[in-house]
Amino acid sequence: MTATKSFLRVGADHVKHYAKATWQRYKNLGIWGKLFIWLLIAFYIALGTVLILKGKLIAQAMYDVAQKLSHMKYGWLIILGAMVVASFPPMTGHTTIVTLCGFAYGMKGFYIVLAGSILGSATVFVVLRFLFSKRLRKWSATNDKWTALETVVKSKGLPLVILIRLSPIPPWAYSNTLFSSIHTVALWQFVIATVCLSPKLILSIFIGSRLAPLSDGEQRQEMDTQTMIIDAGLAIGGLLLGLVASVVVYRLVQRQLRHLKGVSPSTEEDIIEALEEADEGAPLLRNLSSESLLEEGDH
């Protein structure tokens, strides 16, 4: 009972901390930033409503698309292309595409999504770093948070790069931007860290392969109750496993960053804030304007 209370207390403290930090960041936003946040909230509420009301129709449509792709000669190439596009911020949908690949190809789809993930993230890394290398150096030199993050990543090397890559925050597309922004991260390190995402990709493919027969009306009608329960249980279990793993990894990242040798507590907080701000596209995609792009091009 004592252990349970302690766990709940720690959980409540974390919730309070993140709620306070989120509210503070919201207050610091300008009017357009706040408007964007509310539009995003409205979008997700609408999306959730549609999923609840039309869930079966959406699942059937997803299954039908997956079957068409699996029977096309170059269906796998379409999935690769979609993964590359989804790797550029502010695009989303990487996990959905991986799950769709599980619908279409079952566990064999792992090789497709691994290749797509590596190709997509490496493309973002090279393109953004090539286009904004001078802007990056100028920006990071005047930002204490980013300088601290770069220093830590450089000193810790590949293990910390892999750990941050495995973290659910920042999301996929913005994680690509994050590593593009840290000039101390080499392309080979980034590719290896992406390959280390294989267990997560396998889990998403597995969930898709279990959901596929449940999403098709004809197969669902022919299933006996036991098979349906087993498939649904495996899919839900996979989702829960992925959620727990994401939380554990994220907490591990924060723990590593908060217990750095020779680093003051204030610097540790700066590093964590820099990592959390990566979902805003900092520094490569923040405050971009036509003037800044022209200025970059002139150099």
Which of 164, 156, 172 lies closest to 193, judged by CA? 164
Give CA–CA dist 128/271, Å, rounded.
Answer: 22
Round the CA-based radius of gyration of the chain to a whole number and report it: 21
User: Which pLDDT value is given to residue 236?
Assistant: 81
By C-alpha distance, which of 101, 92, 106, 93 is closest to 65? 101
67 is written with which tokens? 């079957």
CB crowding 62-95: b at 16 or more within 10 Å, else e: bbeebeebbeeeebbeebbebbbebbbbeeebbb
**pLDDT computed for residue 47 by the predictor:** 64
Residue 141 has a pLDDT of: 67
Q: What angle do CA 242, 247, 249 make, to 5 degrees?
A: 90
- Residue 3: enclosing H or E segment and its boundaries? helix 2-28
Supply the mean pLDDT for the chain: 78
Q: Can you tell me the mean pLDDT for 48-58?
A: 68
Name the residue with higher pLDDT: 92 or 109. Answer: 109
Report the phi/psi class of residue 282: left, alpha or beta, with left for phi > 0 and alpha for psi in -120 to 50: beta
291 pLDDT band (50/70/90 cuts)? very low
Write the pLDDT tens digit of every residue in 120-167: 999 999 998 888 777 776 766 677 777 777 888 888 888 888 988 988
70-96 confidence digits (pLDDT tens): 899 899 999 999 999 999 887 888 988
Q: Give the model's pLDDT for residue 52.
A: 64
Confidence of residue 269 (pLDDT cuts 50, 70, 90): confident
Q: How confident is the model at residue 296 (pLDDT cuts 50, 70, 90)?
A: very low
Residue 15 is predicted with a pLDDT of: 64
Q: In degrees rounded to 5, what are phi and psi of residue 5?
A: -65, -40
Provide the pLDDT for residue 156: 82
In this predicted structure, the answer to whether residue 11 has a pLDDT above a threshold of 60 is no
What does the DSSP assignment read for 28-89? HS-HHHHHHHHHHHHHHHHHHHHHHHHHHHHHHHHHHHHHHHHHSTTHHHHHHHHHHHHTST
**Average pLDDT score over residue span 24-40:** 73
Distance CA 2, CA 234 (A): 32
Q: What is the predicted pLDDT for the residue at 189? A: 93
- Residue 183 pLDDT exceeds 90: no
Distance CA 245, CA 102 (A): 20
* Higher per-residue confidence, 196 vs 47: 196
Mean pLDDT in residue range 85-112: 89
**Average pLDDT over every residue of 183-204:** 92
231-245 pLDDT tens trace? 778 778 887 887 788
Q: Is the pLDDT of residue 253 over 90?
A: no
pLDDT value of position 214: 81
Sequence-distant (≥ 6) Cβ neighbours of residue 277 within 8 angstroms: 145
Instruction: Parse the chain into domains and list their residue ranges.
Output: 56-298
Q: What is the pLDDT of residue 149?
A: 79
